[in-house]
Amino acid sequence: MARSKRTQALLQFGLFCGIILFVNIIANSFYGHLDLTEEKRFTLTKPTKELLKGLDDRIYVQVLLEGQFPAGFKRLQTATREMLDDFRSVSPYIDYQFSDPLEGNTEEVKERQKVLLEDGIAPVNLRVNEQGESKQQLIYPVAVFHYGQRKLPVNLLENQSPTLLPDEVVNNSVSLLEYKFANAIKKLQAERRPAILFTRGHGELDELQTKDLERSLHQFYDTDRITLDSVIRIDPENCSLLIVAKPRGSFSERDKFKIDQYIMQGGKVLWLIDRLNAELDSLRTARRFVPADYPINLEDMLFKYGVRIQPDLVLDLECSKIPLQVGVVGNAPQFQLFDWLYHPTVRPIGKHPVVKNLDRVELKFCSSIDTIRTKTAVTKTPILLSSPYSRLQFSPIELSFDILRNEPNPEYFNKGPQMAGVLLEGTFPSNYENRVSEEMLAGLRQVGMEFRDRSVPNSMIVISDGDVAANFVRNRETQEWLPLGFNRFENATYANKELMLNAVEYLIDATGVIEARSKEVKLRLLDTVRAGEEKTFWQALNLALPLLFLGAFGMVFFWLRKRKYAR
């Protein structure tokens, strides 16, 4: 009798273990989760899901973030693995592997690093504190996406800005993982590279001034210049985006009409417009300078589309610095950095994908932008605002370095945030509605087009500073230039390039993948003061509570067993 009960108990135990093993095998074949977070950080956006469901071939991801890291990078590593699991739960074509590029002997590591560097993958030199000692550690926070014969490296770590705490850098990096991964897959799948055209012939930024921006764009887009006088029309099929970058000469009505009808057909435009001829170099030469309006003749077009760039300059207490000579020691001039109020360092504010998680952007002699009511429905979304400590100077203005003689009085900087960048979305009215000439109509008929007085649903971006897209040219003869956004005086890099790339991506992107940029992962930092005060209590609770549960379970189990066999 006892033997049969023992056999029955063993069989029940074996059956129980078998069921558990079977359930684990089945569960291992499926991936799922319930997202209870406030910001839905573990839920993929709809455009990303649609992109993944459309995959028809394998995407292999090699993640180089493997090894022993500090806590922040461990969090980034875990978030990367979870994001790839989310992708794989939607599409079975996603496959990934984590590897350590620094594993192996010295020769193997050097050879591997050389190959990675040829692909544009460089390590991050991280300072790590362990047991009171500081040491340097190389880390590759990169994921390489492979699709057929193509591959694309994705930087998992956002640019480390001196204005952000390390925890904020990691948090921003985690929140952008979905966008970066989906964007990489979209770019690898693209059969045709979109074309971006910069206008020329009106004093715009030249190729050397936009060298860094175009080099970054070349990874996914084709860029070129277009002279409007030499074309009959601008075809949206052949030009995904038109960039008007700091024109200083006048646009003829013919040129404006071509841009207008390009917009009416769905063409996107990025307007980077300086209203006043204010340059730091001119001021250094003349010491006193009165900037005049640039005669670009675009005011009526922008007004019709819903914005007006005012003939003023924005001064901001939150600004970048310039060097001025303050004396001479021996034969060596002595320089000192001063806050230059005409160069605001605006912090993009808002949750729009174009500016989400961006650091400060440096503007130079920007003007304020007003929005205008339009005949058609056009939504105006501010994307760049100066700080609350701003003021305006209206033309005519005399610029000089005398403004630096005294500390600025904060009481005068009370005009609040001034808009320097705006996104326009909707149906735009034509600038030539009810006033198109017969010559213009003949030009349209020549290419088989009809005049349109309303656009299809469209979008454009207007920024009141042309230099926002210009890298500094050190030497034109040797073609030397500095990265876009790099301030050579402060030895700091602003987010100008990221802003331009986001603007281009948003205007061109038809899939809506950039929507993932607006996802927010809230940084819930530990209250270190309260943690220190309540440290003993929580340690005791974590030690005692499991023991109490175990003791209570043992007592109940013993009581039930005793009651069963007592019968």
Q: Token pair for residue 453?
A: 């007085």
pLDDT tens-digit map of 402-443 = 888 888 888 889 899 999 999 999 999 999 988 888 877 887
Residue 255 and residue 149 share a domain: no
Residue 10 has pLDDT above 90, yes or no: no
Residue 9 located in a structural domain: no
- What is the number of alpha carbons within 13 Å of residue 153 lying toward its C-beta? 16
CB contact at 8 A, 152 and 190: no
Q: How far apart are CA 181 and CA 380, in angstroms?
A: 29
Supply the pLDDT for residue 169: 73
Supply the pLDDT for residue 523: 47
CATH code of the domain in which 33 resides: 3.40.30
Q: How far apart are CA 492 and CA 426, in angstroms?
A: 37
Residue 562 located in a structural domain: no
From 120, 155, 187, give the residue that closes a domain.
Answer: 187
Q: How far apart are CA 104 and CA 115, in angstroms?
A: 15
Residue 196 and residue 180 share a domain: no
CB contact at 8 A, 385 and 415: no
Residue 369 and residue 457 share a domain: yes
Q: How far apart are CA 271 and CA 244, in angstroms?
A: 5
Segment 104-127 shows an average pLDDT of 81
pLDDT tens-digit map of 356-384 = 778 899 999 999 999 999 999 999 999 99
User: Where is average pLDDT lowest: 148-162, 408-422, 535-549?
Assistant: 148-162
Q: 10 or 432: which carries more pLDDT confidence?
A: 432
Q: Which residues pair with 54 in a beta bridge?
A: none
Q: How far apart are CA 172 and CA 158, in angstroms?
A: 7
Handedness of CA 295, 296, 297, 299 (dihedral sign): negative
Residue 406 and residue 482 share a domain: yes
CB contact at 8 A, 175 and 521: yes
Q: How far apart are CA 299 and CA 296, in angstroms?
A: 8
CB contact at 8 A, 384 and 360: no
Residue 131's pLDDT band, with cuts at 50, 70 and 90, is low
Residue 214 and residue 273 share a domain: yes
- Which range of residues forms the domain containing residue 220? 192-518
Residue 156 and residue 216 share a domain: no
Residue 18's pLDDT band, with cuts at 50, 70 and 90, is confident
Residue 206 located in a structural domain: yes
CATH code of the domain in which 285 resides: 3.40.50
Residue 455's pLDDT band, with cuts at 50, 70 and 90, is very high
pLDDT tens-digit map of 43-83 = 788 888 888 888 888 999 999 888 777 777 788 888 899 99
Residue 135's pLDDT band, with cuts at 50, 70 and 90, is low
From 187, 206, 225, give the residue that closes a domain.
Answer: 187
Supply the pLDDT for residue 313: 94
Q: How far apart are CA 436 and CA 420, in angstroms?
A: 31
Segment 340-346 shows an average pLDDT of 93
Supply the pLDDT for residue 162: 44
Segment 256-265 shows an average pLDDT of 94
Residue 112's pLDDT band, with cuts at 50, 70 and 90, is confident
Residue 456 located in a structural domain: yes
H helices of 177-295, in order, are 177-189, 211-217, 253-264, 280-286
Q: 400 or 357: which carries more pLDDT confidence?
A: 400
Residue 49 located in a structural domain: yes
Residue 327 has pLDDT above 80, yes or no: no
DSSP state of 250: P
Segment 135-147 shows an average pLDDT of 84
Residue 214 and residue 94 share a domain: no
Residue 515's pLDDT band, with cuts at 50, 70 and 90, is low
Residue 163's pLDDT band, with cuts at 50, 70 and 90, is very low
Q: Token pair for residue 309?
A: 């760039």
Give the angle 60-61-62 at the CA atoms, nearest 5°: 120
Segment 164-169 shows an average pLDDT of 61
Residue 393 located in a structural domain: yes
Domain count, the chain: 2
Residue 153 and residue 230 share a domain: no
Residue 277 has pLDDT above 80, yes or no: yes
Residue 215 and residue 77 share a domain: no
Question: Which of 13-17, 122-126, 540-544 is most confident?
Answer: 540-544
From 166, 187, 208, give the residue that closes a domain.
Answer: 187
Residue 406 located in a structural domain: yes
Residue 562's pLDDT band, with cuts at 50, 70 and 90, is confident
Residue 156 and residue 38 share a domain: yes
Calculate what percentage of the chain has a pLDDT beyond 90. 35
H helices of 454-534, in order, are 496-508, 528-533
Residue 148 has pLDDT above 80, yes or no: yes
User: Where is average pLDDT lowest: 16-25, 84-93, 137-146?
Assistant: 16-25
Look over the chain and give the mean of its residue pLDDT values, rounded to a whole number: 84
Residue 560 located in a structural domain: no
Residue 479's pLDDT band, with cuts at 50, 70 and 90, is confident
Residue 145 and residue 217 share a domain: no
Residue 183's pLDDT band, with cuts at 50, 70 and 90, is confident
Q: Which residues contact 564 (CB under 8 A, 6 or more apart)?
A: none
Supply the pLDDT for residue 417: 92
Supply the pLDDT for residue 528: 55
DSSP 145-203: EEETTEEEEEE-SPP--TTS-HHHHHHHHHHTHHHHHHHHHHHHH-SS--EEEEEESSS
Distance of CA 262 to the CA centre of its chain: 27
pLDDT tens-digit map of 222-234 = 999 999 988 888 9
Q: How far apart are CA 142 and CA 156, in angstroms?
A: 5
Residue 310 and residue 242 share a domain: yes
